[in-house]
Amino acid sequence: MEKINFDPKFPIYLQVMEAIRKDILAGRLKPGDKVPSVRELASQLGVNPNTIQKALSELEREGLLESARTSGRFVKENSEATRQALESACHQLSERYVQDMLDLGLKLEDISAYLLAYLKTRS
């Protein structure tokens, strides 16, 4: 996991959760991959182990991670929660993009045209 630039406006455990969630959704952590231990993550990120424990427990509760009693935590295989998290992330990013463009005074058809033009440059 890469270093996180923590924002003091938000709880650290939520930022740790978001970083791990992004790693899962982007495929950097694949189904069945072992997640670093609480101690490893705490040391790597410079965060209290209790904060890491809370983040991992919440991700487990969400269904993205699962625990194996003596082996640690793993990215859950074939998780409906992963599909839902990806769908939610895409929706939030799209919503933010459209709102920013609307704030610039653009109409929906203009936003669509700009997005299509941009996507053509990417392929």
Three-state DSSP class for 34? Answer: strand
Return the pLDDT at 54. 98
Return the pLDDT at 16. 98
pTM of the complete model: 0.77
For the stretch 63-114, pLDDT in tens is 999 999 889 999 998 778 888 888 999 999 999 999 999 999 999 999 999 9
Contact by Cβ (8 Å): 47, 12: yes
Is the confidence at residue 51, as pLDDT, over 90? Answer: yes
For the stretch 26-35, pLDDT in tens is 999 999 999 9
Residue 1's nearest CA partner among 55, 67, 76, 61 is: 55
d(CA 64, CA 76): 6
Mean pLDDT within 9-30:
95
